[in-house]
Amino acid sequence: MKIAVLASGSGTILESIVASDVQVSLVVVDRPCRAEEVAKSAGIKVISMYRSEWGASFDRRNYSEGLAKSLLDEGIELIAMAGFGTIVTEELHRHYKARILNTHPSLLPSFTGWHAVEAALDFGVMVTGCTVHLATVEVDAGPILAQRAVEVYEDDSAATLHERIKEVERSLYPETIKLYNDFLDRGSIGQYRNYPKINE
């Protein structure tokens, strides 16, 4: 299947996906970031869909429609979000129902949102972790595909805890992408006839 990775940051998750031999066909970024250089170094096509507006003036629906068109034009069949900083709307999910994966630094459904690591520390949990799930219009609420626990140390800061979660993420996410890709491939030859196809 043709896989696209959506990224916004340092590209470390993208690096782990590429290093695991997941065949990435396209990388899309929403701002200038190191992930672009990671993709280019790996010989992966990059589409730069930079945002020029933020906050209430940002036309999220129009951006999502343009993103969907770019992915469909490239024949993309599966999307992996890798720290993508733009929340997309129904206009993308409608075309890629059950085909958008995301990774989140907590054991969902606990600690949703952008500050999950800080929230876990503030709550005083002894264990947190990483979740790979299907992305839906509602943020961090889609079906869970895989989880892995990470112990919280007494002297942890948000930075140290987040780095240990990222270490887990860099192995769990590529593993899950491969498994889900295989699941969809088998579905394409009829073993999972009721599974959503592109644009259904």
Taking only the tens of pLDDT, the chain with its 200 residues reads: 999 999 999 999 999 999 999 999 999 999 999 999 999 999 999 999 999 898 899 999 999 999 999 999 999 999 999 999 999 999 999 999 999 999 999 999 999 999 999 999 999 999 999 999 999 999 999 999 999 999 999 999 999 999 999 999 999 999 999 999 998 877 653 443 444 444 44
CA 80 – CA 6 distance, rounded (Å)? 6
Beta bridge partners of 147: 131
| Alpha carbon distance 82, 173 (integer Å) | 9
Provide the whole-model pTM: 0.90
Strand partners, 24: 3
**CATH 3.40.50.170 spans which residues of the chain?**
1-97, 103-193
pLDDT at 187: 65
pLDDT at residue 189, as a whole number: 39
103-193 maps to which CATH number? Answer: 3.40.50.170
Vertex 86 angle, CA 61 and 128, to 5°: 135
Q: What is the pLDDT of residue 185?
A: 79
| Residue with the two structure tokens 């709307």 | 89
Neighbours of 194 (CB within 10 A): 5
**Integer Cα distance of 105 and 128 in angstroms:** 8
Which CATH number is 1-97 given? 3.40.50.170
**Residues contacting 135, CB < 8 A, separation 6+:** 79, 81, 93, 100, 101, 102, 142
Q: Quick one: tokens of 8?
A: 């916004």
Catalytic: 162? no
φ, ψ of residue 113 to 5 degrees: the values are: 90, 180
* C-beta neighbour count of 75 within 10 angstroms: 12
Q: Which of 104, 115, 133, 162 is catalytic?
A: 104
The whole-number pLDDT of residue 191 equals 42
| d(C-alpha 6, C-alpha 35), whole Å | 9
φ/ψ (deg, to 5) at 188: -70, -15
